[in-house]
Structure 1
Amino acid sequence: MKNVLIADDAIFMRKVLGDILRRNGYEVVGEASNGREAVEQYLLVKPEFVTMDVTMPGMDGLEALKVIKNIDKNCKVLMVSAMGQEAVIMDCIRAGAKGFIVKPFSEGDVLEQVKKLNFL
């Protein structure tokens, strides 16, 4: 598992996640600033996994997760959310998310979640 699509409405967060993943041998093959772009990029670049912010304008991360799951039931999506969104986290797990990266996060937090994907 080496290529990833990063979906987050904050350019800074995309950069931080991208830098962490690149430093650890992953290739960022696409970026999206909202859920609709995430779905379009998923179809275009066919990443091995996706990091998806929950809160984005237009189509949010949960809705984008559901659309991507309908396209590819085997997709691996890690949701990225702020602390205190437990109900949202449960909704995302029910919709098929494979894990969570909770903001604020460390490099270790991100890598721990990504490594879990290899065992799913």
Structure 2
Amino acid sequence: MAKRVLISDDAAFMRMMIKDILTKNGYEVAGEAENGKVAVEKYEETKPDLVLMDITMPEMDGIQALKTIKAAHPEACIVMCSAMGQQAMVIEAIQSGAKDFIVKPFQADRVLEAVKKAVG
């Protein structure tokens, strides 16, 4: 069975790009979220194998959403994405339980490498 991935990014274009990369490589997109708050709700609904989470989002940022999901589901597998090479945020995300980190603009092979590393 295909691994199910929840994509959380405030940019519809980014969600579309990631969805395209994943579906072409045999992954199933369990859902999409435009902010951290929706990502937390969708995680509860869909229980995906992996979440690809943008850091900078309105309403609730990715780090907050990561912490919220991890608090309720310690086994949750989350890979963070961000355009900004902000070391502090990357470190906080990893310390908060993120499995990996992808920098935008995405390289398809880097996205797949992170996904495979996280969920096989």
Partner residue of 1:84? 85
TM-score of the superposition, structure 2-length normalised?
0.96
What is the aligned residue count?
Answer: 119
**How large is the RMSD of aligned CA atoms in angstroms?**
1.1
- SS of the aligned residue for 1:58 comes to coil
Change (3 A) 1:84 1:98: same
Task: Please give the secondary structure, in 1, of the residue aligned with 2:26.
Answer: coil
Task: State the match for 2:20 in structure 1.
Answer: 19
Deviation (angstroms), 1:85: 1.2
Counterpart AA for 1:69:
K
**2:33 is the alignment partner of 1:32:** yes
Q: Deviations over 1:2-56 (max 9, x none)?
A: 1000000000000000000000000101100000000000000010000000000
Q: How far, CA to CA, are the matches of 2:18 and 2:47 in structure 1? A: 19
Cα distance in 1 for partners of 2:15, 2:29 equals: 10
Deviation at 1:92, TM superposition (A): 0.2
Matches within 5 A, 1:23-102: 23-102=24-103
Unaligned runs of 5+ in 1: none
Q: Distance in 1 between matches of 2:61 and 2:71?
A: 16
Q: TM-score, normalised by structure 1?
A: 0.96
Structure 1 runs (4+) deviating above 3 angstroms are none
